[in-house]
């Protein structure tokens, strides 16, 4: 049994993330979506809120679990049998960054393999950062995030974040 780990900040989870989850869930026996902290960003949703949102969005996928981690990815995956890491790639910038991170992770954990899934064309421009910026201006987010997430974003901005 192969366990795939899909790490990310998911702040918020987008339709692009969800597409990667759906595609990876078809390929791997078990998929762990791991919500991680990014100390370089001020989050819209705290880590517990992100985990809950993702759990709601992926509830139709029986082999997908959601968790959070503050560990190095190379260490976090050690708790799983036959782990692989999944990363989505939208463009050459993602490719350069993610291949560099894969090399670091491999150096820290020689058993760890990283699999890349390229974004579908309609999601190549979708990012959590862009969604947060659009939300600031009250833009329609329905092309970028699941309805559940859009509703929660609107609540955040109505309540002054």
Neighbour tally for 91: CB within 10 Å:
11
From the list 23, 56, 68, 90, the catalytic residue is: 90
From the list 34, 87, 128, 132, the catalytic residue is: 128
C-alpha span between 135 and 123 (Å, rounded): 18
- 127 noted as active-site residue: no
- State the Rg of the chain over Cα: 15
From the list 41, 107, 147, 161, the catalytic residue is: 41
Would you call the peptide bond into 131 cis, given omega within 30 degrees of 0 as the criterion? Answer: no
- 23 noted as active-site residue: no
- 17 noted as active-site residue: yes
Place of tokens 């998911």: 10
Place of tokens 């960003």: 41
Scored b (16 or more CB within 10 A) or e, 127-158 reads: bbeebbebbeeeeebeebbbeebbebbeebee
- 59 noted as active-site residue: no
Residues designated as active site: 17, 41, 90, 128
């Amino acid at each position: 049994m192969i366990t795939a780990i899909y790490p990310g900040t998911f702040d918020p989870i987008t339709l692009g993330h969800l597409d990667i989850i759906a595609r990876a869930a078809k390929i791997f026996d078990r998929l762990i979506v791991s919500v991680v902290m990014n100390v370089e960003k001020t989050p819209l949703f705290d880590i517990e809120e992100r985990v809950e949102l993702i759990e709601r969005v992926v509830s139709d996928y029986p082999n997908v679990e959601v968790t959070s981690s503050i560990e190095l990815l190379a260490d976090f995956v050690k708790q799983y049998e036959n782990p692989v890491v999944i990363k989505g790639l939208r463009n050459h910038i993602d490719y350069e960054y993610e291949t560099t991170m894969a090399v670091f992770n491999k150096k820290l954990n020689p058993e760890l393999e990283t699999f890349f899934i390229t974004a579908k064309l309609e999601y190549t421009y979708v990012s959590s950062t862009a969604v947060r910026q659009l939300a600031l201006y009250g833009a329609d987010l329905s092309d970028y995030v699941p309805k559940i997430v859009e509703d929660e974003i609107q609540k955040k901005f109505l309540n002054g974040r």
